Structure 1
Amino acid sequence: MWDYFSFSKGLSEKLFSREIRFQEFNDEWKLQSLGDIGEVFNGLSGKTKDNFGTGKPYIQYKQIFDSSKVHIKNCGFVEISENENQNRVMYGDVFFTISSETPKEIGMSSVLLEEVSEMYLNSFCFAYRPSSSQVINPLFSSYLFRSFNFRKEIIKLAQGSTRYNMSKGELMKLTIILPSLEEQKDIAQLLFSIDSKIEVEKTILNKYQFQKQYLLQNLFI
């Protein structure tokens, strides 16, 4: 079976390093500081374990660590009082983990790609909100912040010995190189289509494995 995952990873690296480009684009990519095109904010504060289990949806640490795109169906729930001052998340926000057991796992990112009415973020992560979706396309950012080159820079921010942490201030000093919004959209859509194909192949493979297991279990009955 064609190894779509390796193909997707290799293609992503070549696209973000500009080794390959779409023929219709020839504009120079622009160097931008994260601090110049967005701002950061914290997750939930002042909560105890008794506040969790019911209430409003919030994005959990594992959701961010596991996927570059937030899957809303996996959200937890937290009690939020009517006049409570907590930061709400919104479409296009990028979430980063700020603590990990190894430097290579620091600053894993995930992007919210759906419109939500009221949703929050766990206290062990922070959010980065671009100043406009006209500066950086949300789907593009889900690939950019997990790209090989950006991950190399993130890992350098890890501080600690037994447990590693990352500073929001240091993250905001990092720079990224952005193509035009139209080129961002084309890159994101290409990578998304390959990811979708990977998910279809995984589903088909799982069905074949289940069928094989069933046949083997019933072969000698």
Structure 2
Amino acid sequence: MSDPRNSSKSGPTAPKPGAFMDVREANAKYLPTAERQIPKGYKQTEVGVIPEDWEVKRLKAISPSQSVGLVINPSTYVEDDGTVPMLVGSNIFPNKISWESARRISEISNQALPASRLFANDLVTVRVGDPGITAVIPRELDGCNCASVMIIRHHARFNSQWLCYVMNSKAGLSQIADVQYGTAQKQFNISDAINFIYAVPPRAEQDAIAEVLSDADALIEALEQLVAKKRQLKQGAMQELLTGKRRLPGFNGEWEIKLLGEIGESIIGLTYSPNDVRADGVLVLRSSNVQDGALSFQDNVYVELEISERIMVRASDILICVRNGSRDLIGKCAKIDDGCKGMTFGAFMSVFRTPFHNFVFHQFQSNVIKRQINEHLGATINQITNKSLNSFQIPFPKDEAEQTAIAQILTDMDAEIAELESKLAKARAIKQGMMQQLLTGKIRLV
């Protein structure tokens, strides 16, 4: 095949059949700078370049009514036998309401609080804590009540789901960030929020955008539920397989109780000072490098100093968080792989080094060891010592082939979960890209 750079033909190359070529775009380099940046059919506004048939409106012009839910302590109205959900900020997530976790008030109290009653397609926005997060009231919550959240009343002139996506978008939340105040608890005033400005498409396009993004949310929710189900199945499998309650076909040999110190060794990590930290050097694995049972390298620290070979990680080491400000993080672990050669680990971490790593790694993720960690944690200091680790007991098959078979089943389940989580992450990223394109009019649906 000839090199196109050596072609003797002159002039522009014709586009391939079916290729799209915008004449205005092709000649953009000959246009004035300001005009070059605005495609045909679009206009420059205070919120950026948007389609010519879109408008820029303040929130108070989009919705005719905004208010604050009940501002006194909602616990005053909560009753053990209440039936009406009382939504607060902690029940609200982006485009989603966790109404099952909401506390309840009586129907009598609900009728006595008409100003904070909510109706289907109203929007509620978190005011305190995680300000700006918005969700739409679904039909099943029609008539419920709320406290200390911003209420945006639905009107036929706008699609509630569309407005919800706009408010939860990067551009929408940035306006909240500009006016929020407070230190321990961030919050904002409705008097500021009603003046937020948004790019508003015609109603038909709002409906189309909301439908596409709702479909994306439905896919994400389905994947989240599937991941949660697979995690529950794995927990059940660990409970049965790692304790010998359920035996795999072909295995009937004896099990015994082993101390971890009998089948391996625990090693405490590197102590270093801030003066040792560099922009590059030896990577020190810390608690932040362990996420959901796997290694993560989003938050790294490097040091430059002499390090003993003993505390350089090896493939198949089990990296464990043994000291942390949060008790819940003690015991979280990940398995070291070949890609970690040349790394070490910090003093708040340990590695457990054993020839039975495949089986023992899953024991560290099971309730067998988690229960013993909780028993050994101090009342005030969140840590487990090497002595404690070595004293932990685990059920242990004498037949190494049974260990391998059990580990393989659980490893396969981990791989399936990881694949689903990858699909979930991709679905979330695609949705974010869709929001960026659809909510700014870069892609038109109508």
> Structure 1 length as normaliser, TM-score?
0.81
How far the C-alpha of 1:102 sits from its partner, in A, is 4.5
Q: Deviations over 1:123-176 (max 9, x none)?
A: 21122222xx2xx1x232221111012110111110132x42222212211211
Q: CA deviation at 1:55?
A: 0.8
Q: 1:45 to 1:21 in 2, by over 3 A?
A: same
SS in 2 for 1:164: coil
- Per the TM alignment, residue 74 of structure 1 is displaced from its structure 2 partner at its CA by 6.7
Say whether 1:157 aligns with 2:157. Answer: no
Question: Is 1:14–2:240 an aligned residue pair?
Answer: yes
Distance 2:349 2:404 in 1: 27
| Runs of 4 or more consecutive aligned structure 1 residues displaced over 6 Å after TM superposition | none
Match for residue 145 of structure 1 among 351, 361, 364: 364
**2:419 match:** 200
- Aligned match for 1:27, one of 253, 258, 264: 253
- Asked if structure 1 preserves the Cα contact closer than 8 Å seen for 2:276 and 2:305, the reply is no
SS in 2 for 1:100: coil
**CA drift at 1:49:** 4.4
Per the normalisation by structure 2, the TM-score is: 0.43
How far apart, CA to CA, are the structure 2 residues paired with 1:70 and 1:91?
Answer: 13
**Pick from 326, 337, 353: which aligns with 1:113?**
337
Q: CA deviation at 1:67?
A: 3.6
Deviations 1:104-124 (A, max 9, x none): 432322221337542211121
| Kept in 1: contact 2:288–2:296 (CA 8 A) | no
Higher relative contact order (CA 8 A, sep 6+): 1
Tell me which amino acid in the other structure corresponds to 1:120. Answer: T
> Which is greater in Rg?
2
> Percent identity, aligned pairs only?
21
Q: Which runs of 5+ in 2 are unaligned?
A: 1-221
Give 2:396's aligned residue.
178
Mapping for residues 88-127 of structure 1, pairs under 5 Å: 88-114=312-338, 116-127=340-351
Structure 2 CA distance, aligned partners of 1:211 and 1:127? 37
Summarize the Cα distance change of 1:164–1:220 in structure 2 as closer, same or farther, 3 Å threshold.
same
Matches of 1:127 and 1:62 in 2, distance apart? 15
Contact 1:104/1:155, CA 8 A, preserved across alignment: no
Q: C-alpha displacement at 1:43, in angstroms?
A: 1.1
Query: Does structure 2 conserve the Cα–Cα contact (< 8 Å) formed by 1:107 and 1:155?
Result: no
Q: Give the number of aligned pairs.
A: 212
**Bigger CA drift: 66-75 or 146-155?**
66-75
Give the whole-Å Cα distance in 1 for the aligned partners of 2:289 and 2:295: 6
Runs of 5+ in structure 1 lacking a partner?
Answer: none
| 97-106 or 54-63, larger mean C-alpha shift | 97-106
